[in-house]
Structure 1
Amino acid sequence: MEFRPRNYIAEEESHALPRSRADDHPLFAPSTSSNHHKVDVVDHESHDFFDPLRSPAANAVALNKDVEDGESSSTVSSEAAAEVSVKEWTTFKRFLMQKFPVSKMVSVSLMPDVIIKTGKANVKDSTTKHLKELDDPANFAEEDVKVITGQEYVSRLHELKDEIKRAWTAEDRVTSLKLSIKVARLLMDTSVLQFYPTLFVLVAEIMDMLGNLVWERIKQKAEFGEDGSRLCYLSENFKEINICVEAKETCNNWFCKVGSVRELLPRIYLELAILPCWRFLNDRPANSLQRLVLMTRGLADPLASVYCRLYMAHCARKLPSCDTGHLITSINDIKILLTRVLSTKEAAHGKSVDNRRLLVSLMEPTIEYIMKCIFKDASQRQVGTVLMELGLGRNQVELFGSNPCVSVVLHHLLKELPTEIVGSYAVEILHLIEYSNDKSYDQCLNYRLLGFRLCERRPTLDILNAAVDRIIQVVTLLDELDDFLKVVDPYVDIILQNQMDNHLNTILEGISERACKKEIVDNDVVGLQSILMKILSHFKDLEDVFALGHFLEILDVMYGSSRISIDMQILNMATRNGCINDPTTVQLLFEICQALHDGIDFVNSKGDDYQAARLISRFVLMVDYGAEMERHLTFLVECRGAFGSINELKETLVHSSNHLATKALKDGRKHLSFVKSCIAFSEVTIPSISDHIRQLNLYIETSEVALLAGLISHSDGLVDSAISCLQSVDLINGSLTPVDVDGMVTSIQKLCSLLVIVPGNPELGFTHTLKSILSLITSQSWITSKIKIRISCAIVSLSATLSQNKLPYNADLEILSNDLLFYGDSSYVQELLSFSEHVLQNLVEIIEQEPSGAARGSMALEACNCIAASFKINHNIQPVCSKLIETAKSNLSTNDAYLQSTIKVLDKHLPTSGISASTTI
């Protein structure tokens, strides 16, 4: 056997592509291009796609035309409006039941027979009653002995709904009406406050069903005669004149029956349920709404009263056209009811102050829904009229006078006001909030809401300045941190956008003072997170943030997930603008990383924790102490101690240490002791990394650094550590994924590339390291036949390279490579040949033992190409190559391109060898 001599420089030149000087960069686009580069864009005058980069004027004209046409022809039909109304009502009902869920037990003072008919009402025994009377006589006196579960109550209402429908289907409409009256009566009982919203939703659904049934019956009588013949077809906007007498009589009869109901509340609900049927009798059905609004004033119970007005607002939306007069009257009446509730020392029904708060919270959704209906599609002029009618404006120009408003009403008014009104009258609204200081709603939330509304569209700067000045005056009077944060949170955006630095300093100082008074709670931390995030998002330079007064003090009091989010945002800012040089900034960020590290379990990290680990690693990587390399290495040591549970960081530390060593080597060997310290740091750190592929690559990288520094003994030790790392893979992790295995093989090939420039050790033998790698093939269970072939080929190629008189590359410093150390030493080449012969024998045996035919053929071709590139094809090599080609031919297709090219290579190296003839396909 004889290695094939190689001239790497000549081979590189022969395979290089021909080059010619280019006058212009190929990606350079001159302003005027030649005709043969010009591409014509055909515009087929289609305006389906708006291209902002082509024909902007024409597109703008077309776009404007489409908008004008759309405005002139797009009138939303009443059917579409009704559909939107239904969806909004369904969403609102779902929200109502979620906000006030059904309690487990419902104890109703006057349990109606319609409910306890099938429900299981529990009667308490005499012993239980006597004990309760002794414990609390006052409470016992009010307590009814009938108790039913909330779910049973709900189930019974569903049964009643089905009974009403079945009776109607059986044309027993009298029974349907009687049952509906009984259902409506249920809303008269407000003894269980928390249950009332659920009760309202269920009863309202039954009322709506009854209204739809009555509507369809009257409409059928209007469109069809008794014999079934069609009399007319009622259009969407039909008039009273189109209705026949019989249908009118039926409709009038229903209103008379409803009007005969004795109790006021069920009478109102039933008339509201059939309210759209007024269209069969009157072209202005909305005229009856004001009468119904006045009727609701006869309802003494405030909760029943406001929910009755809520149902009225819902039913009024079913009419084709209706103004907001009845809604405004309802809101004004609700304000009176709330004033009475809030002014009494005890709430309704003799309940405690807590029950009074509960009562207000139960009434709030009705205000919200009615207010949405008032301002839906309202013009600015109509808004002015509404505010005057609500008692909040002197006239349509001078809005928001000095009259106070109930806080909860004001809150939902402010939510629905048009943005232009809020922006123009921000200061007046602030004064209104101050006047409206009652217990119905947290005043801080109204200040907060105004801030968010002002962020929707920026008002003039003078209005903003006046509003923010007043807010700062307000918050300085607040003692609690929670209240302070509620108010200032939305105004921080305004302050930052308008560069009101003095106000920002005041806010941060105020937060710091209140946060240090007592231990903060979770709600406070969430509020702080919102404010600090806004500040961090506004500034581009992290040093500017750290320079803000009290910022770091506020950061120190935060904890939990909010603190983690802020820390990650700070690190994200710090690592996106290049190297971090300032020592003070480095120390601050190090402490932030420590807080982040202590707040996360990186051993079992998932999801966002990986992002935190990456940010800490990136911070460490981007720190640069410049010429103070010793300080930088000390920093890396501190990081290893502080963040030892982050595997990714350990890898970063080794990369940084190796980078420091190569940086020091640029000044020659005068920093050799520092380089040794860096290499020692890496040697200690690498074994603590759990991933063996990463370990192996880091050992190789550090060995390269040691070799650059001329530290051959260090390099040899690191290479031995790399091989030991490979040998321990099975002991630690017996199950490797295909990706892991492929990474291991690639790393072994990389190790072989490094060994080209590592000087051999005559004492241990020139092939000592190669034998260690070869022994790995037979000792590791994760190494398959295919992997054995790849590693063996790498070893053969390495042996052939080491035998050359001139190596393809070597270390930059004055290190004698093997081509100089053993030049002309026949024993050196002979040892390499003897070792390679042994490897070739193993190659052939591995290929023959491979059970898969396709794999055996591919492996034979890979081995054959390696042999042809490494050895002269003589009488010793030719039989091996011939055997491998025959193996490939018998297991692969005759048209296999790899097989064809391999035969051509063999013919090129030894045309008269007879290989081609013996392997003719």
Structure 2
Amino acid sequence: MEFKPRNYTAERAAHALPRVCADNHPLSVSPSPHRQVDVVDHGNSDFFDPLRGLADNATVSEVQDLESTFSEASTQLPTKEWISFKRFLMQRFPASKMVSISSMSHVLMKGVKTYEKSSTSTHLEELDDPEKYSEDGVKVITRQEYVSRLHELKDEINRAWRANDRVTSLKLSIKVARLLMDTSVLHFYPTLFVLAMDIMDMVGDMVWERIKWKAEFAEDGTRICSLPENFQASDICYDAKETCNNWFCKIGSIRELLPRIYLELAILPCWRFLVDQPEDNLQRLVMMTRGLADPLASAYCRLFIAHCAQKLPSCDIGYLVKCVNDINILLMRIVSAKETTHRNSTDNKRLLFALIEPTIEYIMKCIFKDASERQVDNVLVDLGLGRNQVDLFGSLPCVSIVLHQLLKELPAEIVTSNAVEILHIIERSNDYSFDQCLNYRLLGFRLSERRSQMDIIHVAVDKVIQVVSQNNRLGEYLKVVDAYVDIVLQNQMDNHLNTILGGISNRACNKVVTEDELASLQTILVKLLTHFKCLEDVLALNHFLEILDIMYGSSRSIVNMHVLNMVTRNSYIRDPTTIQMLFEISQALHDDLDFVNVKDDDNHPAHLISRFVRMVDYGTEMERHLTFLVECRGAFGSLNELKETLVHSSNCLAIKTLKDAKKHLSFVKSCMAFSEVTLPSISAPIKQLNLYLETAEVALLCGLVSHSDGLLDSGISCLLSLDFADGSRTLADIEGILSAIQKLCSLLVMVPGNPEKGVTYSPNNILSLVNSKSWMTPGIRTRILCTILTLTATLSQNKLPYHVDNREIFGNDLLFFGDSSYLHELVSLSKSVLQSLVDAIEKEPSRAARGSMALEACNCIASSFVLSHGISPICSKLIETAKLCLSASDKYLQSTIKFLDKNLPNPMVAPSIAV
């Protein structure tokens, strides 16, 4: 066997691609005109470019179909909003475990076990302790029994309707509506409302379908007509109108006002069968609700009005404005009522406000949904917040909770242009229906939605800072200033920023900060860290570090993570004071066990700490930098990712030392010692192996051959000890090992051979690994053996393709030039590799894979050895294997055969071989 001589310099020149100077950079913003390409679809109607919009030749029908799709989606939107709103109601106000049964709730008594409770002060007692029912008197049932009974009633109504017993369905529906007159258990009322509304909607749908059927079909089932979506009352036949009118008459005869309103609202769309303007009836229904004395029941009745009105084709929003005005009047009466000294009275009122708030919120959404600017102005005037459309937000009072929902829904341009006037209204609307600070807070967020005039912003922020500075409670102070921090930062109001941070510091000192206050502090500090570009600017802010020291727990950890993320996204960190502060922050983050287990890769604490360590740069003070790495290893020893970073950083320090002539070899040895001590503690085997190779390369570059040999031995030992339990290895693991072994072989080209252990000591260890590990597949084994074969062929050359960039280290081409024993050792290793290579290919079970492996091995042998009589049988056998496994038209196979026919001394045959 004879290795093929190679001239790497000549080969590199022969295979290099010709280079041509380009007129323009390929990423240039303005390429030359002749390089521009126009996209042409050649009239292909199937092609649609989403960036070019609808094609000019798009048919009208296609556009109309698209518009109809959007139309359908928009009609379903109110229904989806209503379903979401009902779910929100039940989640926000979970019902108590026990519910009292009033005299009007006898419909629920059927088959339900009840308990007795005293009627004395039932309302207040249920509020104080809903689960307490030990006293005798008023009957109570469990919440689940109440809900189950309502579901049963819904099923009974449905069954009666399907049995054509519509009188029974109506009677049961009236009984359900009567339940809404009972507000004795305030917490349960939203749940009762949602369950009852499901029944009301079901009844309304059944009545609608019944009348629509009578309008379209005769009694015998013959279709009379098909009503269009926008039908008129004149399109409806007499029988259908008579049936519809009968339903409204029956509902109009209900004695109680509340059930009468609810049932008519349930069938409100049926007015379309009688009149062309069904929305005119809404004004009458709104006026009827003024007869409801209970504020909670009347508010939720108005909520149902807003819901049912969405089912009409179109209607004016004036009736909704009246609903809000009526609720506002009711709440003003409650607010202005004489306060009692009884604590429960105030608590009950606050609970009542909280229960009514969702009704105002939903109605406000309905008012301002798709409202034009003129309609918005009219609404504000109708709500009493302006004398005319020019003078908006006048001096009329508004209950705080109503103002909050109004402010939430107003268009952003109205809010920004009238910010000062809105502030005056907030200042006057100071009642306990809603925390006034939340209105100031909401205004801040609304002002942040869009840019507004600087003079308005300055006046508004000045006013808010003056008002909130008079509040000494930290929680309320934080809620308000949090909403204005973005505005202050965007408009560079440094004086206000200092005022805000000083106010926080003064109110938080000598005080235990609550969880809610910590959350607000966290938000404010994160906004500061996000706004500024470098940490020094943040640290220069007055009171920032004081506020940071106040924080603790998860909020402190989140801020710490943002600090680390901020400093590591920019340039290197060189200031010693900053480094020490960040080291302490990293320690605190490392010690928080909850955050050590975070699974977000980009913001994982270990990742952030590693990035911080990687970005530290002590400049010429390399000893101080190495000391810093030692401190990090002691402080963050449990973070595997950090250990990898420490080894990388230590190796970088060693390389930097080479560029500094004043540094001595002793410091490089210190860096190597640090890496050698750190490497064994890295748990990921493949990463550990790659770091061993990296460190060995650095040691070799620094002239520390003995260190390099020791690190390579450790890396190979790591490979030899590597094992996988059955089923535990993955393709990524195997590919990682293969890549590491190929890198190791590339490195061994530069490493001087060890005369004591033999120049093939390391390649022999790799071969031993290949032959001993059962988890290696034949395919991976073949690729590794080809790599070893290429290594031996490279080491046999009179001039190696590359050398260590260190004049004091000689390559094997100089150390063993003309040494026959050196070549004999390489040939001996190659024979062992060849035999193992043939065996590995024969063990591959897949025919296609076996053929590809044979071709790969054959080409590797042909490029490594002179194609003599000793090599010819091996190549012939591999080609025969490839022929049996691959198609005769395989181009790789054909080119390989052509090459071998040209270079082999004899025609290709496949005799038995003995290597």
Q: TM-score, normalised by structure 2?
A: 0.86
The 5-angstrom pairing of residues 336-415 of structure 1 reads 336-344=329-337, 352-415=345-408
- Whether 1:534 aligns to 2:527 is yes
The 5-angstrom pairing of residues 594-633 of structure 1 reads 594-600=587-593, 606-608=599-601, 611-633=604-626
- Whether 1:440 aligns to 2:439 is no
Residue in 1 aligned with 2:6? 6
- Whether 1:543 aligns to 2:536 is yes
- Whether 1:767 aligns to 2:760 is yes
CA distance in 1, matches of 2:724, 2:246: 92
Deviates more, 1:439-448 or 1:723-732: 723-732
- Whether 1:464 aligns to 2:463 is no
SS in 2 for 1:824: coil
- 1:300-352 Cα distance to aligned partner (Å, 9 max, x none): 32222222222333344445554444433333332232233334567999954
8 Å contact kept, 2:426–2:439:
yes
Q: 1:818 aligns with which of 812, 815, 819?
A: 812
CA-CA distance at 1:239 after TM superposition: 6.4
CA distance in 2, matches of 1:236, 1:258: 26
CA-CA distance at 1:614 after TM superposition: 2.8
- Whether 1:524 aligns to 2:517 is yes
CA distance in 2, matches of 1:808, 1:515: 69
8 Å contact kept, 1:269–1:308:
yes
Residue in 1 aligned with 2:683? 690
Between Structure 1 and Structure 2, how many residues are aligned?
896
CA-CA distance at 1:621 after TM superposition: 2.1
CA distance in 1, matches of 2:319, 2:777: 84
CA distance in 2, matches of 1:843, 1:470: 84
The runs of 5 or more residues in structure 2 that have no matched partner are none
CA distance in 1, matches of 2:237, 2:865: 109
**Cα 1:901/1:563, change in 2 over 3 Å:** farther
Counterpart AA for 1:521: T
8 Å contact kept, 1:575–1:622:
yes
Q: 1:577 aligns with which of 547, 566, 570?
A: 570
How big is the alpha-carbon RMSD for the aligned residues of Structure 1 and Structure 2? 4.3
CA distance in 1, matches of 2:224, 2:11: 100
8 Å contact kept, 2:186–2:352:
yes
Q: 1:421 aligns with which of 414, 420, 423?
A: 414
Counterpart AA for 1:771: N
8 Å contact kept, 1:180–1:207:
yes
CA-CA distance at 1:411 after TM superposition: 0.9
**Cα 1:886/1:288, change in 2 over 3 Å:** closer
Q: 1:191 aligns with which of 184, 208, 221?
A: 184
8 Å contact kept, 1:188–1:265:
yes
- 1:407-447 Cα distance to aligned partner (Å, 9 max, x none): 11111121222323222221111111111111111111111
**Cα 1:760/1:355, change in 2 over 3 Å:** same
CA distance in 2, matches of 1:231, 1:8: 93
**Cα 1:349/1:140, change in 2 over 3 Å:** farther
Residue in 1 aligned with 2:802? 809
SS in 2 for 1:300: coil
Residue in 1 aligned with 2:716? 723
The 5-angstrom pairing of residues 69-108 of structure 1 reads 84-108=77-101
Counterpart AA for 2:908: S
CA distance in 2, matches of 1:238, 1:846: 81
Residue in 2 aligned with 1:502? 495
Q: 1:312 aligns with which of 278, 289, 305?
A: 305
Q: 2:657 aligns with which of 664, 669, 683?
A: 664
CA-CA distance at 1:794 after TM superposition: 3.5
Q: TM-score, normalised by structure 1?
A: 0.86
CA distance in 2, matches of 1:819, 1:28: 44
Q: 2:443 aligns with which of 450, 460, 468?
A: 450
- 1:19-70 Cα distance to aligned partner (Å, 9 max, x none): 46637457387979576x565566999999999999xxxx99x99xx9xx99
The runs of 5 or more residues in structure 1 that have no matched partner are none
Deviates more, 1:106-115 or 1:338-347: 338-347
**Cα 1:352/1:869, change in 2 over 3 Å:** same
CA distance in 2, matches of 1:113, 1:616: 67
Counterpart AA for 1:815: I
Deviates more, 1:627-636 or 1:217-226: 217-226
8 Å contact kept, 2:854–2:878:
yes
8 Å contact kept, 2:3–2:796:
yes
Residue in 1 aligned with 2:908? 916
Counterpart AA for 1:527: S
CA distance in 1, matches of 2:260, 2:885: 93
CA-CA distance at 1:186 after TM superposition: 1.4
Identity of paired residues, percent? 67
CA distance in 2, matches of 1:51, 1:856: 45
SS in 2 for 1:471: helix
Q: 2:732 aligns with which of 736, 739, 757?
A: 739
CA distance in 2, matches of 1:44, 1:503: 61
SS in 2 for 1:512: helix
Deviates more, 1:814-823 or 1:339-348: 339-348
- 1:626-654 Cα distance to aligned partner (Å, 9 max, x none): 22222222222222222222222222221
CA-CA distance at 1:699 after TM superposition: 1.6
SS in 2 for 1:198: helix
Residue in 2 aligned with 1:27? 26
CA-CA distance at 1:665 after TM superposition: 1.0
**Cα 1:764/1:355, change in 2 over 3 Å:** same
**Cα 1:917/1:444, change in 2 over 3 Å:** same
**Cα 1:843/1:825, change in 2 over 3 Å:** same
Residue in 1 aligned with 2:326? 333
CA-CA distance at 1:95 after TM superposition: 2.5
- Whether 1:755 aligns to 2:748 is yes
**Cα 1:863/1:552, change in 2 over 3 Å:** same
Residue in 1 aligned with 2:106? 113
CA-CA distance at 1:290 after TM superposition: 4.4
CA-CA distance at 1:797 after TM superposition: 3.5
CA-CA distance at 1:768 after TM superposition: 3.2
- 1:592-626 Cα distance to aligned partner (Å, 9 max, x none): 33333223568866334774333332232222222
